[in-house]
């Protein structure tokens, strides 16, 4: 049975315990309480604030030997109480090294000290006077220090536990132009621990969150931040106990501030996801070649995280923000990228017309809306959009009427070409029986439509705008040299689940007539309409009944392309993301189909028309996805 650790997950707990100023014995008890709570939650790495054993605001009491000795006694107590605890625990305390006192992060595990990392940048401005008490870690002359009866590494260190590599910085280190965490990251650290005592000021919290998220993004790492809380002295400052965990630019978890009893927050970080991002980022390695170097490494082993203890949430729609405002902003930006790309292509070619095949379905609807916006950008009339309806053997009255109404509401030119006679003639020419509704029957219609559109574009001096989306390209759900081909594919990097939201976004900003028909399109089942309707004239050929739910395939596509996840991890994430909506058997069935179709369909993606990239996942053969068309799928299908 695989564990969460096997899939690259590590559980982090960030704690802000209660604090007694300058009372290490009491603080040891508070720290142990936090460690116990974090351990109950399955945390493998536990982070506590800066100078947690002494309190940060002890001020000139740091000159008192008794305080420093009592901190050492407190750590000894913690080591004894955690001798059977395999979690990696990082806590702050003052440490003598040579003839100087340092503000240190001390990492312990199973009752042993792994190492001590001194703070490098000491604030000495406004209300902070750390240079009055501590020396900078950059000036340290020793590489080992002895306390609590143990001689341990001292200085800039990395702590490696299999794939997890931990780097440490302390408070002000993050706020400087060149944070130590940047150097540690290019030297291999994929988790940065920050032990902090950051006071609260108006608007400081939002800036601090941006700083943490931004650093995790720049360093392509996870970043855990623990700040001192309300128990600190309030002589001049108030500390809120901000605890935050970020991963590659996104906040995963954060605690409530100003809690008198302290606080704790946990999150599962995905190390394999971070390493996948780093492997693809050439600039990260270029930076490492310049600024990286040899950093002393302490090695150990993490406790195992079970699947039951792994509580990381997974978004079932990774292409679509769940927040309404963010989603609207995202749709607005994508729509602008699509329309600007098409406008630029029309301008470059000198063409004044756009030609589109309109079926009444989602994809062609979005392509028409994009073309409509492009004409606005170019200052050209809507009549310059030539919309062609091409009823075939599977066209239903519902989609046909939707297409006509949409074209009229937008003021585009409408033409109709009935493809049934030409398709029947073609099938006669090649000796195919029209009563046999096979792939030849279907593709005859798709290719006939593309031929009509291409030739009309030539005749009218226009540009044929493609309608196919990213999901169809991934699954190969398009006819080679049929709807697969165009002169510019505006939807080429928009997944099917996002197409729906883009159409809805335009509907919400449109006039009542256009909005009404767009909502009717949104309510229509997805279908290529290449097979005859049922006896009631309704759509018989429903895409998702044939190839599976697009929401599942878009989920697989995102994680497979973006992070290179294996089949087992894709199945695990989907099961967690969709809950009881799909059984394990259903997920396995559709995942197998996704992988098979993805591999056998590469030849269609190897010759795609140009189209604008709108997000982080794209299948353009010119940059985003280069794959041999005859790659063997066996190793990828194996569990």
Report the catalytic residues: 50, 119, 171
DSSP codes, 154-190: BSS-EEEETTEEEEEEETHHHHSSS-HHHHHHHTT-S
Residue 169: CB partners within 8 Å, gap ≥ 6?
Answer: 117, 119, 120, 179, 180, 181, 184, 192, 193, 194
- The first and second tokens of residue 412, run together, are 């585009």
CB atoms within 10 A of CB 522: 15
For residue 544, the SS3 value is: helix
Burial of 523 (0-12, 13-18, 19+ CB in 10 A): exposed
Torsion of CA 41, 580, 558, 265, to 10 degrees: -20
118 membership: H or E segment, kind and range: strand 112-118
Distance between alpha carbon 515 and the CA centroid of its chain, in Å?
Answer: 32
Q: What are phi and psi of 109, to 5 degrees?
A: -160, 135
Tokens representing residue 304 in the block? 């195992």
**How many Cβ atoms are within 10 Å of 445's Cβ, its own excluded?**
27
SS (H, E, C) 122-163: CCCCCCCCHHHCCCCHHHCCCCEEEECCEEEEECCCEEEECC
Closest to 360 in 3D by CA, of 503, 553, 470: 503
Round to whole Å and give the CA distance between 482 and 183.
52
Q: What is the CA radius of gyration of the chain?
A: 30
User: Is residue 199 helix, strand or coil?
Assistant: strand
- How far is residue 549's CA from residue 544's CA, in Å, rounded to a whole number? 5
* 236's tokens: 């001049």
The sheet carrying 112-118 orders its strands as 112-118, 100-109, 88-97, 45-47, 9-16, 263-270
Contact 449, 483 (CB under 8 A): yes
Residue whose pair of structure tokens reads 């010759």 in the numeric block: 607
What does the alpha-carbon distance between residue 237 and residue 234 come to, in Å, rounded to a whole number?
5
Contact predicate 477/543, CB 8 Å: yes
For tokens 């000491």, the residue is 122
CB 570 within 8 A of CB 598: no
Side-chain-side CA neighbours of 302 within 13 Å: the count stands at 26
Helix, strand, or coil (residue 430): helix
Sign (positive or negative) of CA dihedral 378, 382, 388, 389: positive
Output the six-digit token pair for 107. 């990492």
| Residue 394, token pair as written in the block | 């599977």
Rounded CA separation 382/371 (Å): 9
Tell me the C-alpha distance between 323 and 519, whole Å: 21
Q: Rounded to whole angstroms, how far apart are CA atoms 126 and 107?
A: 30
């Amino acid at each position: 049975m695989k564990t969460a650790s096997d899939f690259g997950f590590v559980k982090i707990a960030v704690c802000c315990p209660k604090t007694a100023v300058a009372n290490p014995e009491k603080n040891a008890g508070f720290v142990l309480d936090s460690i116990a709570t974090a351990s109950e939650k399955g945390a493998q790495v536990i982070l506590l604030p800066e100078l947690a054993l002494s309190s940060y605001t002890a001020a000139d009491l740091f000159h008192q030997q008794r305080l420093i000795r009592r901190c050492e006694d407190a750590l000894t107590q913690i080591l004894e109480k955690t001798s059977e605890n395999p979690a990696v625990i990082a806590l702050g305390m003052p440490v003598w090294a040579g003839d100087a006192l340092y503000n240190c992060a001390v990492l312990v595990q199973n009752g042993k000290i792994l190492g001590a990392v001194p703070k490098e940048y000491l604030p000495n401005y406004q209300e902070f006077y750390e240079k009055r008490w501590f020396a900078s870690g950059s000036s340290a002359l020793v590489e080992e220090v002895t306390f609590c009866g143990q001689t341990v590494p001292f200085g800039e260190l990395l702590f490696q536990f299999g794939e997890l590599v931990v780097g440490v910085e302390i408070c002000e280190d993050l706020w400087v132009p060149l944070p130590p965490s940047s150097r540690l990251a290019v030297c291999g650290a994929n988790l940065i621990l920050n032990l902090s005592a950051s006071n609260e000021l108006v608007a400081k919290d939002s800036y601090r969150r941006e700083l943490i998220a931004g650093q995790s993004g720049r360093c392509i790492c996870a970043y855990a931040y623990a700040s001192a809380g309300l128990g600190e002295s309030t002589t001049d400052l108030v500390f809120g106990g901000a605890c935050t965990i970020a991963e590659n630019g996104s906040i995963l978890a954060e605690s409530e501030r100003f809690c008198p009893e302290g606080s704790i927050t946990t999150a599962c970080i995905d190390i394999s996801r971070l390493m996948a991002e780093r492997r693809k980022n050439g600039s990260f390695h270029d930076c490492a070649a310049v600024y990286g170097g040899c950093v002393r490494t302490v090695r150990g082993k993490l406790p195992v995280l079970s699947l039951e203890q792994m509580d990381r949430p997974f978004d079932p729609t990774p292409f679509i923000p769940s927040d309404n405002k963010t989603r609207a902003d995202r749709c607005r930006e994508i729509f602008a990228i699509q329309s600007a790309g098409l406008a630029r292509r029309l301008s470059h070619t000198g063409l004044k017309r756009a030609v589109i095949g309109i079926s009444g379905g989602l994809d062609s609807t979005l392509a028409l809306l994009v073309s409509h916006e492009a004409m606005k950008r170019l200052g050209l009339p809507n009549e310059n959009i030539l919309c062609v309806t091409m009823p075939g053997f599977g066209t239903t009255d519902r989609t046909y009427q939707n297409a006509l109404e949409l074209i009229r509401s937008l003021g585009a030119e409408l033409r109709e070409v009935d493809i049934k006679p030409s398709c029947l003639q073609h099938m006669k020419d090649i000796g195919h029986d029209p009563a046999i509704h096979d792939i030849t029957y279907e593709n005859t219609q798709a290719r006939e439509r593309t031929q009509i559109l291409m030739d009309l574009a030539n005749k009218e001096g226009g540009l044929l705008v493609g309608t196919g989306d990213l999901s169809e390209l991934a699954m190969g759900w398009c006819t080679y040299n049929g709807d697969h081909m165009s002169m510019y594919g505006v939807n080429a990097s928009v997944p099917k689940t996002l197409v729906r939201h883009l159409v809805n976004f335009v509907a919400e900003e449109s006039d009542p007539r256009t909005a009404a028909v767009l909502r009717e399109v949104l309510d229509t089942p997805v279908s290529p309409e290449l097979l005859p309707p049922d006896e009631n004239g309704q759509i018989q050929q429903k895409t998702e009944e044939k190839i599976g739910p697009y929401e599942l395939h878009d989920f697989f596509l995102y994680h497979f392309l973006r992070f290179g996840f294996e089949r087992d991890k894709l199945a695990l994430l989907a099961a967690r993301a969709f809950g009881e909506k799909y059984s394990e058997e259903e997920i396995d069935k559709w995942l197998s189909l996704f992988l098979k179709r993805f591999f056998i369909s590469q030849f269609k993606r190897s010759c795609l028309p140009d189209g604008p990239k709108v997000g982080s996942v794209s299948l353009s053969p010119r940059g985003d996805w280069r794959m041999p068309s005859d790659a063997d799928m066996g190793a990828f299908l194996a569990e």
